[in-house]
Amino acid sequence: MQENPIKLAVIIGSVRGGRFGPTVANWFVEQAKKSGEFTVDLIDLVDFPLPMEMPAFGEEPDAATKAVSDRLSARLHDADAFAVVTPEYNHTVGPSLKNAIDWYFEEWSLKPVGLVSYGGMGGGLRAAEHLRQIFAEVHATTVRDMLSFHNAWGDFQKDGQPVSPAGSEEAAANLLKQVAWWADALREARSKGTYKLR
| Nearest to 142, CA basis, from 94, 88, 198, 86 | 86
Asked if 42 contacts 20 with a C-beta cutoff of 8 angstroms, the reply is no
Q: Please give the single-letter amino acid code of residue 60.
A: E
Asked if 113 contacts 140 with a C-beta cutoff of 8 angstroms, the reply is yes
- Exposure string (b/e) for 114-146, b if CB count within 10 Å is 16 or more? bbbbbbeebbbbbbbbbbbebbeebbbbbbebb
Max Cα distance, the chain (Å):
50
pLDDT digit string, tens, across residues 15-60:
999 999 999 999 999 999 999 999 999 999 999 999 999 999 889 9
pLDDT digit string, tens, across residues 50-65:
999 999 988 999 999 9
pLDDT digit string, tens, across residues 159-171:
898 888 888 999 9
* Percent of all residues in the chain with a pLDDT value above 90, rounded to a whole number: 83
Overall pTM surpassing 0.75 (yes/no): yes
**At 74, which helix (H) or strand (E)?**
helix 63-78
List the domains of the chain with CATH numbers: 6-192 (3.40.50.360)
